[in-house]
Structure 1
Amino acid sequence: MTWSFTDSAAAFRAAAAGHLAADPARNTAVLTLMDTAALLGWWAEADGRVTGVLAVAPPGVPAFGAVPEEAARALARGGLPGGAEPAEVRGETAAVEAYAEATGRPWAPTVRMRLFRLGEPVPPDPAPEGRARVADETDVPLVAAWTRDFAAAIGDEPAEDYTGFVTERISEGRLLLWEGPDGRPVSMAAVSRAIEGQARVHLVHTPPAERRRGYAAGVTDAVGRAALDGGVAQVLLFTDLANPTSNALYRRLGYRPVTDHLGVRFTG
């Protein structure tokens, strides 16, 4: 039983294809990162079966997919190629805790998340006023500004310019806006590209002045249905467990828990 590593997405796919395809929901973070990751790894059992995967994305943060606790502990003991000790690690709670404890280094949680999967979509009740529409190129400045606000709200360091980031999503028809009763955009949500039949809802944001009117529920319901109508088999999203409002909202819309995730930072 051992970890193997590569910087080639093609080699990683060839080695771990079966494991990735068997549970794309639990492997969603690795599937999303694998084409841009600096390092990819897979854990093989004695019989050669791959049962764990990870991706190390800039700036050097390992993200676990579905990984056995034994594999996480082995990684902590053996380390990553080059001997680097990551300052942070993310993934399913059990694997991250096993890894962190096996390092012997002091650590503290940075975020606790829950992964949800959309079952049968349930429309918001009561239905919000307005309608959803696909964003277009004229919306880029507004959406870029909202994305910066979104990043700050979730505790990330906002980038200087999100124009390219949002233009990609808008040009591919993956970002929806909710228009209020007066026709103004009041909320947004996007969905990732489909990989292995799964896609993730993200960038769910409503400016503070427009909240408590159900707009986020409306646009989230719309973007999830659009993904399903487009042929995606599984629509996923992450929520912050510290935000009971969003967790309750997504359950009302038909999302069901898959697994809990944890991010930790090493403090020593």
Structure 2
Amino acid sequence: MTKRNNIHFYYHNCEEIVNKLEPLFELVNKHDFNIVDNHEDANVIISIGGDGVFLEAVRKTGFRQDAIYAGFTLGNLSSLYCDFSLENFNDLLETISREGMKVRKFPVIKVQVNGLRPFYCLNELTIRSTIVKTIVLDVFIDERHFETFRGDGMVIATPTGSTAYNKSNKGAIIDPLIPSYQVSEISSMNNNNYRTLGSSFVLDKSRKLTLKEIEDGNDHPIISFDNEAFPIRKIDKIEITMDDTVVKTVRLKNNSYWDRVKRMFL
């Protein structure tokens, strides 16, 4: 087993956060871990902040398959991805130094826009209108036309992302042990010209979802990958699939995915 003793901290560099982290850095050094500046030299990547910072950390470090991710919160923020705080940081160090450490694997979606290089999303992909006008999308499942959507946009969510924007659009919460992704509408129009399913639907990992934009006076929608938005000048086709890429996080005893869902919402 490879010893995991090189830690990279990802956080927003401001004086307030740095001051709070000084005792943590001292604790890391006392436990014979190394703090590295370059994430490529790390085998443990720890984000400092809430879920948004965790998503940034995963994206900015390239969805590392040979590293373990862990989330650390400052304060009492409710969080799905961040299991640790100032009070139990020592537990994190003990956990990652233990042989046979169990990890949690979160599936991600792979997105290609116009056939260009792929993006990965841990939470969701969204495509939305940027003007006061609906967008029109032809929806294909495994290359077969399924429906023509007209509305404000669509959310394609991973299982862990199902608790976020997807949930606010009345989508279901999906167990991350089920490798799948969910498609939810944002304010769809249903009339004699356009007819959609009108509810979220879940696709197995093996399926391919394709969205083709129909030019109708709104040719510049905005796409967001997790919490980062990208204005793409012209969108012809978006392909969404799932491969074997996952995000591996520290798995704690008595803190399952559903324990955290309960903590956040109930």
Report the TM-score range of the alignment, normalised by the length of the smaller protein: 0.3 to 0.5
- TM normalised by structure 1 equals 0.33
- Larger relative helix fraction: 1
Structure with the bigger RCO (C-alpha within 8 Å, sep 6+) is 1
